[in-house]
Chains A and B, each alone.
Chain A
Amino acid sequence: MIAPRWRKVLRDVLERPGRSALAVLALSAGVFEIGALLYKYAVLQPVLTTMYEKTRPASATLSVDAMSDALLDSVRQVPGVADAEVRPVVMARAQTGPDEWTPVIVNVIRDFDHQRIDTFAPQSGAWPPAPGQVLLERSALSVAKVKIGDSLRVRMPGGEERSLLVAGTVHAAGLPPAWMDHFIPAFVSWGSVLRASDDAIASVEEPSQVRIVVSDHPLEEGYIREVADSVKSVLERNDRTVTRVTVPTPGRHPHADQMDAFLYLLGAFGILSFILSAVLVASMIHALLSEQVRQVGIMKALGATTRQVAGIYLGQVALLAAVALAIGIPLGLVVGRAYAQFSASILNADVTSAPFPVWVLIAEVAAGIAVPLLVALGPVLRASRITIHEALSGATAPRPFGTRRFERWLAGQVWLPRPFLLSLRTTFAKRARLALTVVLLALGGACFMSAMNVSAAWDRAVRDDFSHRRYDLTVFLRERQPISRIEALVERDPDVVHVEFWPGGNPYLIGERGVAGQQVALVGPDARTRLLELPVSQGRWLSPTDSIGAVINQGVVMRNASLGVGRDVSLRLQGRTVSLPIIGVAKELTPMPVVYAAQPAVYAALGEDGTSTKAARIVTRGHDDASQREAARRLERAFAEEGIEVAGLQRTSDARQSILDHLVIIYAVLGFASMIVVFVGAIGLTSSLLLNVVQRTREIGVLGAIGATPATISRHVWLEGVLIGVLSWMLANLVAAPISAGLEAAVGGIFFKSPLPFSMSPAASALWLGLVVVLGSLSSFYPAWRAARLPIRQALTHA
């Protein structure tokens, strides 16, 4: 038999179904968000770690012009090298539309079944591919616009075109998804028709990648760089040219930082909404206890101890929390799984076979019960400690309106319309409850506005950055061509209005210790150009009078913090060291390090005379996407007809759009998180209005008795809801500023390695004002309906 006090717990919960439902909803929202996050983390994290480790990722990759098995053996003998593998790589382009070509990196694999480093697994179709076949990374089918069984037309270096049968897909877990980086990873066999050489195994006279795995300290980037440097020396001593050395962050998936950051942001929002919902429940319990003061007194008069009384009300909280768990846990698991799958797709991972994380369930149950109990403990203990005399004599009756200065001031505002005045006074009658409701809703609004502000800041930053690059197309040529020839060819196009040729290269940046490490881009824009005018945070931009000066971007500063105006930036290029005095530090969105130098200095560094080029920056008549696309197609055709091989053709609008596309993910993440907080805020508002109606039942009866119609009474409650909403909007605007600044700094840091410019969108504020009025109206619907249908007789006799 259940003890009467526990029956009371159950019946008290059921007696107020509306309020109990709101408490359960608020708690469910918190449990749901925490559950979704924990589940996603628990499923994705181990999969990411094991999946990435299973590919045996290369510690470093060196791009060389040619390789041989004998030389590979020498590389394996270098101290610190545990293993090494060579893969010929063909940097080609695949046709993805009429006169549209997308970069494809073709990896030539010697033995598909015995891969050693950066491994990949068969996904579907053929394995290994026949000489006329190609396997694509599974995420590349959409980028290549093909399906298995289709033909993929590949334009090789040199201009030769081959058609390959797409025979299957592979899963290369160490690679980011192709749709994100806009290139096609492809895999062909040693005997592929794409290869210039035949089956010669001993010698690979074609560009290749040497992948190494270090034997010791696999997570120390400095050590890896030292070993890579030793390997590079060995290769160079054997007359090989090393064009690039790549050392990824050891032990980290290429996109793991982004996912960690998203998890951090969502975690912060999740914890916030969970705490808010718990605080809301505490306030509901507080309101419940204030109604039950007399019952507390009676129970004490019957012999109940403080602990027993507290147990009854904590039991109510635990019951509500248990129901919330029953709703929130399954929802959280479903959404958590979907979110894990979504995140996995960004990371090119699979979570379908991940085991169910039992600890998440345990943690959810523990937090879902413990946190509401903890936040309710204060009000419950306060209420339980009340003396019988206080409880039964009404010593805790609410303070009458008008005893505080603000209330007296409010009472004097008789110029306001009477119904509005009544709503206003009612709103401010319960100031603690009003404050809690306003704060809850304001936090939701602030999160919502912050999500929009981050989007606005991102959009503004990207558009602002691209506004300094006033060219529409960049053509990269495979081989150097006379500038006069390219200029004549390009200017024949009716849509081309201007073209410039800037020299450039990819030297190594010499770091603080004098060691060449990271590769940077070196660009020599025309000193009189209008196509590139970057804003500077230090010093100045290049001028026509500069002959040796350089402007570095913050990507360079990040890699060598000692660099700044007045210092020299030292670059290692073609075996020589070039030092250029820094005259400015440019503000750029890209985290990639770029050195912009005076054109004569760049020509000198590259050993060029300025008559030939490998790149052209083109301005078209119409700057829109359609005209850029059309001009690009015509130029592709024109270059092909002239027999000039294009290595790449980039539309500026494409580059801008691909950065803007990341916004979708950011907005989805922040929007989802803020909606939960808004939801909790709306429940808080409904609960507050409902409590006001319950506690003012007699007053509502009086209003009805003196002639107020149900419509008047419900309008009064609605006005109260809207007033609270507008108050919360004011506070939300203040709170949104620091939250937005924090999020903009965090998001900018994740993607661009520097904070986004602070942005507060007036549109976001206006939209939230509109939404909060709608939300206030929706939240007041049930309380207003309930107030309007209270029978006057019953209301007047309400205790």
Chain B
Amino acid sequence: MITLRDVTKTYDTPAGPFTALRAIDLDVRPGEFVAVVGRSGSGKSTLLNMLAGIDRPSAGSVAVGGASLKELSHDRLAQWRGRTVGVVFQFFQLLPTLTALENVLLPMDFCGVIPASQRRARALELLKRVDVPEQADKLPAALSGGQQQRVAIARALANDPPLIVADEPTGNLDSATSEAIFRLFGELASQGKTVVLVTHEREAVSGAMRTVTLVDGRVAS
């Protein structure tokens, strides 16, 4: 599903160049649930950005589902991402002026993969799947953190992407809610989705099929 070869990412900062990833090689199989762990600044989020096509490597190649990301233009990459990758953020990142249902509808609207006549039903089904169907018409400000993250996961599933990436998805949640969210990711993996999760929570690591540990931008194990 995912193949990274010799991926290096260097940022220019006011203090000089900073290398976040150093010659990373990584393979993730379809349906695999991978937890990426490491200390703060080890390159976890940068790695996730590479997989999701959110950022491009300074050197090396990233291929997801057979697509070489560096060959895709900016807009083709956006379209590819909408169809192939579901992204879950640490701070949920729901659009504040759209309701929960509309937030889930938004990726379908952008990508046009799901026929318009089926979108609403699918969005409601996804909200039901993540246990927040009754929150469909509420604005994000009216939802708890856990509810917002469930809506965000439903949104990530909107276009039925084969790959789900999540960056510290429970970083802002209490332990009980975190546990439920991790269970949800586990279920997704068991349903055939490839899940790559950046986390520092032990529960996630224990639930994952494989753990990738990063140290100073390198895969340590």
Residues of A in contact with B (beta carbons under 8 Å apart): 1, 3-5, 7-8, 11-12, 15, 294-295, 298-308, 385, 387-389, 392
* Contact status B98-A7, CB under 8 Å: yes
A306-B75, A307-B75, A389-B55 as given contacts; A301 in contact with B97, CB under 8 Å? no
Mark the stretch among B81-89, B171-179, B182-190, B191-199 that contacts chain A: B81-89
Q: Does B106 contact A (CB under 8 A)?
A: yes
Nearest first, the 5 closest Cβ-Cβ pairs linking A and B are A303-B82, A11-B97, A4-B102, A389-B55, A302-B107
- Say which residue of A5, A7, A15, A304 sits within 8 Å of B82 (CB atoms): A304
B213 in the interface (beta carbon within 8 A): no
- Cα separation A12 to B52 with both chains bound (whole Å): 28
B95 and A295 contacting across the interface, CB-CB below 8 Å: yes
Q: Do residues B120 and A305 form an inter-chain contact, with CB atoms below 8 A?
A: no
> Does B70 reach chain A (CB closer than 8 Å)?
no
- A385 and B49 alpha carbons, distance in the complex (Å): 18
Closest residue to A387 on the B side, CB-wise? Answer: B55
- B109 interfacial contact with A, CB 8 Å: yes
Cβ of B93 < 8 Å from any Cβ of A? yes
| Inter-chain contact B98/A392, CB cutoff 8 Å | no
Q: Does B150 contact A (CB under 8 A)?
A: no
Which residues does chain A contribute within 8 Å of B120, judged by CB atoms?
Answer: 1
Which listed residue, B87, B97, B116, touches A302 by the CB 8 Å rule?
Answer: B87
Cross-chain contact A3 with B109 (CB below 8 angstroms):
yes
Separation in Å of the A646 CB from the closest CB of chain B? 81
Q: Would you list 17 pairs from A and B whose C-beta atoms are within 8 A, ordered by A residue?
A: A1-B116, A4-B98, A4-B106, A15-B97, A298-B89, A301-B89, A302-B87, A302-B106, A303-B78, A303-B79, A303-B81, A303-B82, A303-B159, A305-B79, A305-B110, A306-B78, A388-B55
Q: With A1-B120, A11-B97, A389-B54 known to touch, is A303 a contact of B102 (CB < 8 Å)? A: no
Q: A-side binding surface: helix, strand, loop or mixed?
A: helix
Contacts of A5 in B (CB 8 A): 106, 109-110
Which residues on the A side are within 8 Å of B82 (C-beta)?
302-304
Task: Enumerate chain B residues within 8 angstroms of A389, measured Cβ to Cβ.
Answer: 49, 54-55
The answer, yes or no, to whether B44 is at the interface (CB within 8 Å) is: no
Q: Which residue of B lies closest to A389 (CB)?
A: B55
Contacts of A3 in B (CB 8 A): 105, 109
B78 x A305 contact (CB < 8 A): yes
Compute how far the CA of A725 lies from the CA of B97 in the bound complex, rounded to whole angstroms: 35
Report Cα–Cα, A308/B111, bound state, in Å.
Answer: 10
Residues of chain A lying within 8 A (CB to CB) of residue B159: 303
Q: Name the B residues within 8 Å of A294 (CB-CB).
A: 93
CA of A308 to CA of B75, assembled, Å = 10
* Contact call B110/A303, Cβ cutoff below 8 A: yes
Whether A303 touches B97, Cβ cut-off 8 Å, given contacts A1-B120, A387-B55, A389-B49, is no
| Residues of chain A lying within 8 A (CB to CB) of residue B87 | 301-302
**Please, how many angstroms separate the alpha-carbon atoms of A305 and B102 in the complex?**
18
In angstroms, how far is the closest chain A Cβ from the Cβ of B94?
8
Decide if B5 is an interface residue (CB 8 Å cutoff). no
The smallest beta-carbon distance between A207 and chain B, in angstroms, is: 81
Contact A301 B110 (CB under 8 A): no
How many angstroms between the C-alpha atoms of A8 and B120 in the bound complex?
17
Whole-angstrom distance between the alpha carbons of A295 and B95 in the complex?
7
Is B74 in contact with A306, judged by CB distance below 8 angstroms? yes
B4 to chain A, nearest CB (A): 17
Chain A nearest Cβ from B80, distance in angstroms:
8
Q: Which of B54, B97, B155, B158 contacts A8 (CB 8 A)?
A: B97
Specify which chain A residues have a CB less than 8 angstroms from the CB of B116 in the assembled complex.
Answer: 1
CB distance from A532 to the nearest CB of B (A): 76
Q: How far is the CB of A571 from chain B (nearest CB, A)?
A: 80
| Chain B residues, Cβ within 8 Å of A299 | 95, 106, 110
B78 to chain A, nearest CB (A): 5
Cα-based distance from A774 to B97 in the complex (angstroms): 37
> For the complex, what is the distance from the CA of A306 to the CA of B79, rounded to whole Å?
10
Complex interface: chain A residues within 8 A of B111 (CB): 303
Shortest Cβ distance from residue B81 to the other chain A in the assembled complex, whole angstroms: 5
Q: Which residues of B contact A308 (CB under 8 A)?
A: 110
**What are the residues of chain A within 8 A of B105 when measuring CB–CB?**
3-4
Q: How far is the CA of A1 from the CA of B118 in the complex (A)?
A: 12
Q: Are B81 and A298 in contact (CB under 8 A)?
A: no
Interface residues of B in 44-68 (CB under 8 A from A): 49, 52, 54-55
Alpha-carbon separation in the docked complex, A8 to B140 (Å): 13
CB pair A300–B89 under 8 Å, yes or no, is no
Q: Is the CB of A304 within 8 A of B110?
A: yes
Nearest CB of chain A from residue B7's CB, rounded to whole Å: 15
Across-interface contacts of A298 in B (CB, < 8 A): 89, 93, 95
Within the complex, which residue of A1, A12, A387, A388 is in contact with B97, where a contact is CB–CB below 8 Å?
Answer: A12
Q: Apart from A301-B87, A387-B54, A388-B49, what 12 extra A-B contacts exist at CB < 8 Å?
A: A3-B109, A4-B103, A4-B106, A4-B109, A5-B106, A8-B102, A11-B97, A300-B81, A302-B110, A303-B83, A305-B78, A305-B110
Shortest beta-carbon distance from B159 to chain A in Å: 7
Bound-state CA distance A455–B128 (Å) is 73
A8 pairs with B95, CB closer than 8 A: yes
Assembled-state Cα–Cα distance A393/B26 (Å): 24
Smallest beta-carbon distance A583→chain B, Å:
77
B104, closest chain A residue (CB): A4
Chain A's nearest CB lies how many Å from the CB of B70?
14
On whether the beta carbons of A388 and B54 are closer than 8 Å, the reply is: yes
* A-facing residues in B109-131 (Cβ within 8 Å): 109-111, 116, 120
Q: CA of A353 to CA of B54 in the docked complex: distance in angstroms?
A: 64
Asked whether, in the complex, the Cβ of A305 is within 8 Å of the Cβ of B52, the reply is: no
B145 CB to closest chain A CB (Å) equals 14
Chain B neighbourhood of A295, CB < 8 A: 95
Chain A nearest CB: distance from B206 CB in Å? 28
Residues of B within 8 A of A4 (CB): 98, 102-103, 105-106, 109
Contact partners of A302 in chain B: CB under 8 A: 81-82, 87, 106-107, 110, 155, 158
The interface centre, meaning the residue of A295, A305, A387 with most chain B CB atoms within 10 A of its CB, is: A305
Q: Using Cβ atoms and an 8 Å threshold, which residues of chain A touch B49?
A: 388-389
Docked pose: A5 CA to B55 CA in angstroms: 24
Closest to A302 in B: B107
CA distance A55 to B89 in the complex (A): 78
Cα–Cα distance between A101 and B69 once the two chains are bound (Å): 95
- A301-B102 in contact (CB<8A): no
Cα separation A288 to B154 with both chains bound (whole Å): 28
Residue in chain A with minimal CB distance to B165: A301
A393 to chain B, nearest CB (A): 9
B103: chain A residues at CB < 8 Å are 4
> Are A11 and B98 neighbours in the complex by a CB distance under 8 Å?
yes
Min CB–CB distance A7 → chain B (angstroms): 6
Question: Smallest CB–CB gap between A128 and chain B, Å?
Answer: 74
Whole-angstrom distance between the alpha carbons of A300 and B79 in the complex?
9
Most chain A beta-carbon contacts within 10 A, residue among B93, B116, B158, B159: B93
